[in-house]
Structure 1
Amino acid sequence: MQTLRIVPDLRSSVVEEMPATQALLFTSRRADADPALLADPRVSPFTPCRLVAALRDPELAVLEVAEPLWTGEWVRALRWIALAKLLRPRITVATYAIENLDARARLAPRALAHRPVLGAVVTRLAVVAMGVSLLLGLDAVVFGTSGAAENYRRAFGWALRRTRQTVLTPRLSACSVCGPRVEDVTREPTVLFLGTPSERKGFAVLTAAWERAGASERGWRLVVADPSGATDRAVPAGVSIVADPPRATVHALLRTAAVVAMPSVRRPGWREQIGLPLVEGLTHGCRVVTTTETGLADDLRDHPRVVLTTPGDVADLAAGLRRAMDADDRPAPPGPRGATKSDVVAWWLDPLDTSADRR
């Protein structure tokens, strides 16, 4: 049986994790998406004609769409869901949900922030409308974090009662590209920051904590892999920038770095969902310093390679960096395996699976 995934904002990691039985249509893509990965014959730009052709394939069993709280994409997805139900009434419509920002805050109209009573009424109506669309549109949902599961259930529990659902956290061991032997690589005294150095990703907090921790004086360096391509950022001593690194370079940096830092902070209208740097750091055997803002925070509290810190707190982040840098160089136990994308797809394809988590 086959599955089809409609992906907004395609990134390289999505293609790397594709199951063999999945085809992918993308409506947009990241500027740093690796062109070599996009050459995969199972990956194509989205068009309605390609969707109709896929829906006519008798082997197609699951249509995966963007998660509902990605609101702009969900509104568009409702058209494709209606088309799928028309052409293939028995098809399973599924989604992988990781939104960690409170659903009501996510749906609250910013334009009415200065009119709290009207804003509350509109938000309530939006929650009800979203719930009805979930009830009508979704057959199965996999939550990627416990935080996302609680978020959706608080707001839409009534609408999800008839929807198959479970929590499958991401695979956190053995990078599918580099393989399990990445554990044997000699680690350099390097802290790696993956992503655009922005306020919400906590970069200002990280640089302040870096200086406070005295990391440079201890022989460590901070490497920033910045996909934006900027090379003129002001950075403190001991910090270097790798601008617009190709995917192979990202994997090489992850194989040799000792620590990955992802100190996300909450901003209006945004909260860290999972955090790809966190996942990729752990799959490459790095220690990870992050904050409790990630939706995986509750799932990672006892992970041997993870240091959780208070978001926006320079002193706590500095202490966390020191703990990660001072950790024994011997490989730590990898922690729970987690689920691959193939595991997620397998769960969708098995309507008799009784592991659905309905807490």
Structure 2
Amino acid sequence: MSETKTAGVRADSGAPSGTGGRNVVQLYEVARTAHLERIADTDGVTLLYREKRYDFDERVADGVRVERASLIGAAWYAATHAVDLVEVNEPLVTRAALRSLLFIGAARVRAFLTRRPRPTVVTYAIANVPTSTLRANLPWKARVKFELQRPLARRVARSLDRIAFGTPDARDLYRDEFGSTRRGAARLVEALPVAVDLGASADVARPPSILFLGDLAARKGFPDVMAAWSQVRDTIVQARLVIVGRGDGVEQARLLSKADPRVELFVAPPRDVILDQLARAKVLVLPSRRRPLWKEQIGLPLVEGLAYGCVVVTTDETGIAPWLRAHEHAVVPEAQVAERLAGAMIDALRLSVTPGDVQRALPDRDGRTAAREWLYGIEG
């Protein structure tokens, strides 16, 4: 259990504020900057993770209570700290099931021995790939491992007191996968953001700029954006393309940015650069593509783009596609990306909308925050 960063008291030292007066542990397999930002202003939450995602920002981590914990390390933490509520990875993240069960078991034993209330167990679910698809496409060794973990995932599902679904796809999948074997309360809270305060610029139309943000990978549609760009630039002479991220497509993006003065590239920049580009872009494009073992759950760049008033161009793979369609964003059928992506980007650039117009369709409460408050029992 190395790489510990704290900003305040230990998890077992009194009643914190911001969590209904309880000690909360978020037990995740993978930690990313978005996880850190969500707890930055909340006392009483400790994030235990096993691995860092590439976008893990150490500067943000300095301001929260976060600790790296292995399988045994997580169980030891539960056995040695007072835990009132634990948020575990959703059951369909089967690789996390054993770690979750060991933590839950250790926390319950500690509560029994110390005469504390039994800790509440909750999760937030956005999984969207059926077990049948995994069984059909996993290599045999991975399939054997999955089959061994699958019963543990059912045990995690039965351990839940509350589950919040971030998309209708996830809600429907859990009904099909677990049915009556899952207990506890459930609620659908769509993973939509609230508007970022843009001041007076919210009512000023932005120049025709397109932002691709995130993993420069084929599954995120980056090659499709590269292929569509020539048609976009030839049609709208003032159009610009800004590429922000990292991944397999960096070298292709670098070559394009050197050859085309209307293309700008930022490779793994600091968070403030990302937010600055979101505040400048008119269109956020993320044409996610289906893979045998992967389907876009939501797409964090889409959520961030909406929060900053960007018009979204994506595919019907994301779990928020129905909402995007209903609010006049461009949702291209995944099977028709090659034929329709450039036209969708051009149409989005031509829309006579301001960032404020986009933002006014957003909910008053951030979906992830609202889900967390319901899960933690601290709704206003």
**Pairing 1:91–2:119 present:** yes
Report deviation, 1:112: 4.7
Partner AA of 2:173 in structure 1:
N
**Pairing 1:26–2:45 present:** no
Quick one: distance in 2 between partners of 1:171 and 1:55? 36
TM-score by structure 2 length? 0.79
Say if 1:53 and 1:79 are closer, same or farther in 2 by CA, change over 3 A.
closer
Match in the other structure for 1:349: 376
TM-score by structure 1 length? 0.83
1:133-184 CA distances to partner (integer Å, 9 max, x unpaired)? Answer: 2443322111111111111111212222x22111112242224xxx353635
Quick one: distance in 1 between partners of 2:145 and 2:103? 25
Quick one: distance in 2 between partners of 1:249 and 1:266? 29
User: 3-state DSSP class of the match of 2:334?
Assistant: coil
Match in the other structure for 1:332: 357
Match in the other structure for 1:116: none
Contact preservation (8 Å) 1:26, 1:45: yes
User: 3-state DSSP class of the match of 1:200?
Assistant: helix
Name structure 2 gaps, 5 residues minimum: 1-21, 113-117
Partner AA of 2:194 in structure 1:
S
Partner AA of 1:132 in structure 2:
R
Q: Counterparts of 1:191-202 in structure 2 under 5 Å? A: 191-202=210-221
Say if 1:132 and 1:299 are closer, same or farther in 2 by CA, change over 3 A.
same
Match of 1:277 among 293, 301, 304: 301
Give the number of aligned pairs: 339
Match in the other structure for 2:181: 159
Match in the other structure for 2:290: 266
1:279-314 CA distances to partner (integer Å, 9 max, x unpaired)? Answer: 00001111110110011112332124x211111422
**Pairing 1:172–2:193 present:** yes
Match in the other structure for 2:158: 136
Name structure 1 gaps, 5 residues minimum: 114-118, 354-359
Percent same amino acid among aligned pairs?
30
**Pairing 1:257–2:281 present:** yes
Say if 1:124 and 1:64 are closer, same or farther in 2 by CA, change over 3 A.
closer
Match of 2:103 among 80, 84, 92: 80
Quick one: distance in 1 between partners of 2:323 and 2:140? 35
Match of 1:245 among 269, 284, 289: 269
Quick one: distance in 1 between partners of 2:63 and 2:213? 25
Would you tell me which structure has more helix in proportion to its own residues?
2
Quick one: distance in 1 between partners of 2:98 and 2:284? 35
Alignment RMSD (CA, Å): 3.0
Report deviation, 1:130: 5.5
Say if 1:281 and 1:275 are closer, same or farther in 2 by CA, change over 3 A.
same
Contact preservation (8 Å) 1:146, 1:298: no
Match in the other structure for 1:356: none
Contact preservation (8 Å) 1:209, 1:315: no
1:64-101 CA distances to partner (integer Å, 9 max, x unpaired)? Answer: 11122222122332222222232236211111111122
Contact preservation (8 Å) 1:272, 1:293: yes
Say if 1:329 and 1:38 are closer, same or farther in 2 by CA, change over 3 A.
same
